Amino acid sequence: MRRLIAFEMVSLDGYFVDAHGEMSWARRQDPEWTGFAAENATGGSDLLFGRVTYEMMASFWPTSQAIQTMPAAATGMNQARKFVFSRTLDSASWNNTSVLKGDIATEVRTLKRAQGPPMVVLGSGSIVAQLAPQQLIDELQIVITPLALGGGRTLFNGAREPLHFRRSRTRSFSNGNVLLCFEPDQRPALGP
């Protein structure tokens, strides 16, 4: 069965988008971070997005600016097979993209059973919030950026019950970012 990884950037105060729904605050470039991003982008994974994240990514990665400033990452992002979950999109213009309109959990179960490389959800907090309670995410890769936003939306907005994870690895970067990796931790329900 294919693995599903969620890669998310969050602020020190726990927001993955700011109060305006933006993620521009997450860009903290330096050679080490740029190399890490390029390595991840060329990892050969299939990519999963919600519509909003897809539109943001599709408006940047195919551009000459992306290709000139981050050539390895742009090449990886543009060549990867991509799936976008949307009820409103009928087609997707970014190459190698398929639009999935069915129930998200059902679609992901089907994708996980199919042959192929690992899959990565980039951003798309609403997708992560829907898949995590159903134990469909095999690993959370959370990058904490040393910046407090003071407001925005948290990754698990609307979670109806506690979700337990165990830390599997960490990595610190010279730009201040810290990567924390977690796997689901199956815990018995707590009694009354």
Spans of all domains in the chain: 4-22+29-154
The confidence band for 187, taking pLDDT boundaries of 50, 70 and 90, is low
pLDDT tops 80 at residue 43: no
- Residue 76: φ, ψ to 5°: -60, -45
pLDDT score, position 147: 93
pLDDT tops 60 at residue 159: yes
What is the rounded distance in angstroms from the CA atom of residue 47 to the CA atom of residue 49? 7
Q: What does the chain come to in residues?
A: 192
pLDDT score, position 96: 95
Query: Quick one: DSSP state of residue 12?
Result: T
Architecture of domain 4-22+29-154: 3-Layer(aba) Sandwich (3.40)
Contact assessment for residue 68 and residue 96, using Cβ atoms and an 8 Å cutoff: no
The confidence band for 190, taking pLDDT boundaries of 50, 70 and 90, is very low
Q: What residues contact 1, with CB distance under 8 A and at least 6 apart?
A: 112, 113
Mean pLDDT of 128-146: 92
Q: What residues contact 125, with CB distance under 8 A and at least 6 apart?
A: 8, 16, 17, 50, 153, 154, 155, 156, 157
pLDDT tops 50 at residue 42: yes
Query: What would the pLDDT profile of 68-97 be if each residue is shown by its tens digit?
Result: 988 888 898 999 999 999 999 999 999 999
Query: What would the pLDDT profile of 103-115 be if each residue is shown by its tens digit?
Result: 999 999 999 999 9
